[in-house]
Chains A and B, each alone.
Chain A
Amino acid sequence: MRELFRTLLDRLAALFRRRRLEDDLAEELRSHLEMAVELNLGRGMSAEEARREALRSFGGVEQTKELYRDQRGLPMIETTLQDLRFGLRMLGRSPGFSLLAILCLTLGIGANAAVFSWVEGILFRPYPAVTHQEQLLAVTGTARGENGPTLISWPDLLDFERSCTLIDSFIVNKIMGTTLSIGDRAEVTTGSIVSANYFDAIGVHPILGRGFEPGEDVGRNAHAVTVISYQLWKGRFKGDPQIIGKTQRLNGVLHTIVGVAPEGFYGTFVGWAMQFWVPASMEENFEGGAYKLEDRGARWIESYVRLKPGVTREQAQQEISAAAKRLEADYPDTNRGRGVQLWPLWQTPFNNAGTLLPTLEIMLAVVVFVLLIACANVGNLLLVRSFARRHEMTVRLAIGAARGRLLRQLFTEGLLLSAFGAAGGLLVAYWCRHALVLLFPARGGVAMHLPGEIDWRVLALSAGVCLVATLLLGLVPALQTRNLDLAGALKSDSAAVVGGGGRAWIRSGLVVMQVSLSFILLVGAGLLLESLQKIRNTSPGFSTHEVLDTAVNLVSAGYDAQRAQSFQDELLDRVKALPGVESAAFGRMTPLGYGSFSSTLIAVDGYQPPPEEQSTVEYNEVGPDYLATMGIPLVSGREFTRADDEKAALAAVVNETMAAEYWRGRNPIGARVQVKGRWMQVVGVAKDSKYQSVREAPKPFFYVPLRQNFSRGAGLYIRTPLSPETIATALSREVHALDPDLALFEVITLQEQLDRSTSPQLVAVTLVSVLGGLALLLSAIGLYGVMSYAVSQGTRELGLRMALGANASNLLRLVMSRGLGLTGGGVVLGAAGALALTRLLGNLLYEVSPRDTAAFGSACVVMIVTAAAACLLPAWRATHTDPARALRD
């Protein structure tokens, strides 16, 4: 055993010292022969005789060397190296072919590698700085009667933490934004409200100062401390080494900076890079509303758990579900019908992993299509070339090359092509790894953070793709050499344009496959495009044009409630007085924004909720004229006026769905609704509109007067035909007249707001369209290649037809009909495939059937027009065949 190993090592080492060993060998043999000659001379032979006798008894110097070499190195590796060298020479000899083939493969493999890197960096391992992220799961609540996941309350979370033994730690991480003013510069920043165990639990250690200490997440506004990100420290604080202990105003409250997070740590939220972290005790200051840490009914937490080693998700889910059951029994008022669900990170519903998941799943399928199309193209190129190399192959067979050896040579060339393709592809992936962000507009001046990750898994997968491509490419020459016969190869045979015998079917088959795959992608792109248009044209129930949305940041400027109220009144008067402004209003939450509306338990006289369910309804706090400004029609009653203030009776406006559900056809005006223990009188009914997402079903919703439920962080809505830029200038003038230090948010139309909320659809459309276009281009190249080749090989037939009286238009029709025939076959196959596959688009489609005729029809038109264009040049060339020359050659 040891000797075998020694031998192998020795042989391996020999591969790298060939030249020296070769010299050694020659020297040793020469010295042997010289000694033999000398001995023979000593025996009295002549010089000539002595030499001949020495060589005779040695027995063939070259054979000995050959035997010696076989013993010395590893013959298999050496032939492979030889194949590689030869392959490289062949590729170098036809650079046009090689470049085209490598380009095709680069695009095919690059698309795969780029999507792999996104899947890895966004779905599977989104937090590289976090230790053992495979043990992390996302946690959400569930509520009977509600479709999607819900959030979790702080007291519930503490109870879970106490009763779950399989879970190592619960990590609270709630994203929020604030305006950061450092020096004279103010900008919107994203931060997280976290539990005190946050940094310890995820294994990220601040490079300066400390993380949070146990107990810092307890008490109302009790611990104004913050850990800042590395980028914030380097950028806004200029890397100040004395930063620890300094203070920074965050949302109006001075926080002590206790730590700086390490470089490369961006928090634990897919989509946004966090710039600072505060403990949960500061929640009220950032979240607004009320103090929620002791309110079991206030659900606001997004969180993760870290499993103990060896625990599966199912086990943990069972344990935590049992705990939720106990809470249901102990606190029926707040927890009836409430459960908990654990999700793998890639399904995290509350960040962009959830929103991008369906798109990325589709992309994984799409890139496989692109790869197949690229391989088909290269396969076709190889076929053409192997035809041209038939002579070479035949000669090599004739002088005794084994067929397997020949195949190996061709296979090595395929491997070389795909290896170059893979290298180029990884370069493409490297450039594209952060490209997803480009498809999302920045919100409030903050760009999204969606980094791809190229780690060993992505590299391994790409290598796998490269191998698959090699195998696919290797099939072509394998089919070729199978029926390579020595005698036949020297006879020239010319393929026919129509029908075409022999190997033409492989090429035609490849083209049909390409066309059908591209057709499927075109249909997919068409369906997604239609959905996007439908979504964007859906009426959200409020005006999207001529209404602008902005905000003035009073919270981070340190305004108290009273000062904020009088500021809002004054600003509203000034804005309404601006020329071109029809109306203006404040409201706490903008519809279709990222943040969620507050929800609350309600009670209505004479209404009994179904057993096991709770009457939880979302609401918004809005100022006078809000509905009119937003363009939400009133069905009956009135909306809020300036009279609905702190001193007036509590009022509410409900939407139609809520009226129908809770008052069942009776007129709710004048009826009472209880919200958080306070009774309010319904004064109006508004039409339904979209609140959180364009795609949501109508749901109960109500409005309460901003004055009676005051929030300093309110949005400002302005109805005006003027452009956002004009208003922004005027608005900033008015705001600075009131307070020169205030920072303004960007001014956008509600249409822009709507568009931003549909960016996942936009991403899907863009990606599928780009790759669909790429596929179409590759297929067109494939079709063009096949047709030009058929024409160039069929010159004799074309010439004959011409000589027999066919005119140019006959020939044109002949070639075009063959090309379009192939396309037609591909379209039929593709349509069958598309019918089976488009259902997979599922949730990405919006009010569009997966069998939508418009999408299929337009894909058909695009495909046929492209195919016709691709065939035109070869067909035109066919009409210029010179019959005399064609027949003579």
Chain B
Amino acid sequence: MAASKSDVLQGTLDLLVLKTLDSMGPMHGFGIAMRIQQLSQDLLQLNQGTLYPALLRLEQRGWVVSKWGVSENNRKAKFYSLTRSGRKQLEEEAEDWARMSAMINRMLRTS
């Protein structure tokens, strides 16, 4: 059971990361973490560290690529950006998510 729960969370985190990179362009890990926290209005209590295995997973699947670069305050950082197949994946997952949440909303409303 615990495994399936974390799977859901993992999928959600992946989706959030992809969406962030889609709207903000290339970003480093810290930036992505800040952006997600900011957008969720700190409701999502994210352990920032979990972001890195997730980024690696996305990179292994070819949805993001990473490159070392220099941050806005002149610090060396690894920048992640969305690939074409990452964008396609984001569209698919966003659609899935919309369908899923619509369904769940419907079910919650009818009962």
Contact = CB atoms under 8 A, between A and B. Distances in A.
B26 interface: no
A71 B56 contact: yes
Nearest to A59: B47
A308 to B, nearest CB: 51
A38 to B, nearest CB: 7
A61 interface: yes
B62 A31 contact: no
Contacts of B75: 31, 34-35
Contacts of B71: 31, 35
A35 B71 CA distance: 9
Contacts, number: 75
A24 B77 CA distance: 10
A27 B69 CA distance: 12
Of the listed residues B34, B48, B59, B71, the one surrounded by the most CB atoms of chain A closer than 10 A to its CB is B48
A258 to B, nearest CB: 64
Interface string A39-81: 1000000000000000001111101100110111000000000
Contact of B49 (A35, A59, A71): A59
Given A29-B52, A60-B49, A67-B53, A38 B73 contact: yes
A6 B60 contact: yes
B12 interface: no
B52 A36 contact: no
Contacts of A61: 49
Contacts of A57: 47-48
A34 B30 CA distance: 10
Interface in B35-94: 47-50, 52-53, 56-57, 59-62, 71, 73, 75-78
Given A3-B62, A6-B62, A32-B29, A68 B48 contact: no
A612 interface: no
A28 B78 contact: yes
Nearest to B48: A58
Given A10-B60, A38-B73, A32 B30 contact: yes
Contacts of A325: none
Nearest to A8: B60
A36 B61 contact: no
Nearest to A30: B76
A851 interface: no
Given A6-B60, A7-B61, A71-B57, A27 B49 contact: no
Of the listed residues B50, B56, B59, the one surrounded by the most CB atoms of chain A closer than 10 A to its CB is B56
Given A34-B75, A64-B49, A11 B60 contact: yes
A7 B60 contact: yes
A39 B48 CA distance: 15
B28 interface: yes
A59 B53 CA distance: 13
B60 A68 contact: no
Contact of B50 (A11, A25, A28, A59): A59
Contacts of B33: 32
Contacts of A34: 75
Nearest to B76: A31
A21 to B, nearest CB: 10
Interface residues on A, range: 20 to 34
Contacts of B49: 29, 58-61, 63-64, 67
A64 B78 contact: no
B11 to A, nearest CB: 14
B46 to A, nearest CB: 8
Contact of A35 (B47, B59, B61, B77): B77
Contacts of B29: 28, 32
Of the listed residues A24, A25, A58, A61, the one surrounded by the most CB atoms of chain B closer than 10 A to its CB is A58
Contacts of A35: 28, 30, 71, 73, 75, 77
Contacts of B52: 25, 28-29, 64, 67-68
B91 to A, nearest CB: 16
Given A7-B61, A38-B73, A68 B78 contact: no
Interface in A386-440: none
A27 B48 contact: no
A68 B30 CA distance: 16
A682 to B, nearest CB: 96
B30 A31 contact: yes
B82 to A, nearest CB: 15
Nearest to B73: A38
A59 B33 CA distance: 13
B56 A36 contact: no
A25 B77 CA distance: 11
Contacts of B59: 10
B53 A68 contact: yes
Nearest to A60: B49
Interface string B20-31: 000000001110
A684 B49 CA distance: 110
Given A32-B29, A59-B48, A3 B61 contact: yes
A58 B60 CA distance: 23
A36 B50 contact: no
A32 B53 contact: no
A4 B50 CA distance: 21
Nearest to A28: B78
Given A68-B53, A70-B53, 7 more contacts: A6-B62, A31-B78, A34-B75, A36-B30, A59-B47, A59-B48, A60-B49
8 contacts: A6-B60, A11-B60, A27-B76, A28-B78, A32-B30, A32-B77, A36-B48, A60-B49
Interface of A: 3, 6-7, 10-11, 24-25, 27-29, 31-32, 34-36, 38-39, 57-61, 63-64, 67-68, 70-72
Task: Enumerate the 8 nearest inter-chain pairs by beta-carbon distance, A residue then B residue, closest first.
Answer: A59-B47, A64-B49, A3-B61, A35-B30, A7-B60, A71-B53, A10-B60, A59-B49
